[in-house]
Amino acid sequence: MAAPSHRRSLRKRRTLAVSAAVVAAGVGAGVFVMNANADAVDLYHQTLAAKDGWAASGTGTTGGAKADSAHTFTVSTRAQLVKALGSASDTAPRIVRIKGTIDADTDDSGKKLTCADYAAGTGYSLSAYLKAYDPATYGRSKLPSGTQEKARAAAQAKQAKNIVFKVPANTTVVGVPGSNAGISGGMFQIQNVDNVIVRNLTFAATEDCFPQWDPTDGDDGNWNSNYDSVTLRGATHVWADHNTFTDAPHLDSANPEYYGREYQIHDGALDITKSSDLVTVSRNQFTNHDKTMLIGSSDSEPAGKLRVSLHHNIWKGIVQRAPLARVGQVHIYNNYYDVTTLNGYATQYSINSRAKAQVVAEDNYWKVPSGGKTAKLLSGDGTGSVAGGGNLVNGTVTDLVAAYNAASSKKIRTTVNWTPTLTAGLQTSAKNLPAELANTTGAGVLTAS
């Protein structure tokens, strides 16, 4: 059975796989995909197809397709990217083509910046911070406060000013095919804007130089970092497609421990929070990461938003939150989950439905290694729902909710208050997903005509 087209356009098309490319950090190979029609597809002006997930709802998602020549940019440095994105309040349609890998940890002249550069002038030092808030003397009942915490926050603010890229409404940001396009060490912030497309980019090494110690987080405290590779906050109509997300080259296994806890420098990969709505996440690869995707940042987020579709993605070497869903109506279909431990990233669970989330998970494929437990593929707080069927575990149809509920006191519910209708490309059999998605997902697959 031929794989369906994954090039999203309103025009009909066929796809032709023509060459292979290696994707970083153990994800596997991808292929370039060309249009086999006489009519060429312009990758940079491409829009989300009708009925392709929640982002197709209403006005749909067109990004910067209507950009004029004055708002069409090709960039290859951090300074050029900042200029091309312009003001977050400017709603003029724009297309930003990223050529090559942009290092966010550089200044306007292109000079490499380090954590020491961000800390300079703030008074922060890790050794002083560790001494000031050692639980043996500072205690465990309150968050750090005082001189070193203020210095840490100031250093973190300096880093944020440099590495956070604010994406305005009506924008398409797309990697130039064949250029290893991506962002190293940076974060795309899509906040309180509508109609954004992000495609064909590798997001790697998004790292917080200045994690905060929280002794009240859990039984033993935790180090918490800022900066998701892509963060949606109050955003609507967003399409994230054919991207690769990875911690590489600095994996969590290289993190030291302080106060007996991992000094975590990574936050989310792609988080969808603060009542974001109408989002489609398709044909991406998520790999080598812990807390990968939040849908809803709080159990108290208001109902009626956080409508998200996740389809034809690969999740490999992911510890948790693939996704963690709260409140909203979330459709998870035709994804491939390989929960084999990779580079020290050992899966705790794949999908967490909590805070009355209404999840439909259907026709996904899980590869579970020998000794792995199907009961641990889901998680929840006793209020969330997971409906749907056709999910395969090692090729066998499996009732994931029944397996989870048999082993947990916090039962996942099996009925939801909605029926997915925006399901373009839905395959009713998951059996071919491992092979098909290896060749059709992630950055480096798409070509421009």
Q: Tokens 């290859």 correspond to what residue?
A: 76
Average pLDDT, consecutive stretches of 10 residues, N- to C-terminus, the chain (449 residues)? 37 30 34 36 93 98 98 98 97 98 97 98 98 97 97 98 98 97 98 98 98 96 97 98 98 98 98 98 98 96 97 98 98 98 98 98 98 97 98 98 97 98 98 97 91
CB 238 within 8 A of CB 274: no
This prediction has a pTM of: 0.91
Per-residue pLDDT at 6: 38
Q: Tokens 């006489």 correspond to what residue?
A: 38
Tokens of 254: 């290289």
Residue 345 exposed, middle or buried by CB count within 10 Å (0-12, 13-18, 19+): buried
Most distant CA atoms of the chain, gap in Å: 72
Amino acid at 162: N
Per-residue pLDDT at 186: 98
State the catalytic residues.
Answer: 321
User: Which residues, 6 or more positions from 390, have their beta carbon under 8 angstroms from its beta carbon?
Assistant: 362, 363, 397, 428, 429, 430
Backbone angles phi, psi at 211, to 5 degrees: -60, 150
For residue 317, give Cα distances in angstroms to 285, 304, 340: 10, 32, 7
Q: Which among 336, 335, 352 is positioned nearest to 426, based on CA atoms?
A: 335
Backbone angles phi, psi at 394, to 5 degrees: 50, 40
CB 77 within 8 A of CB 110: yes
Per-residue pLDDT at 40: 53
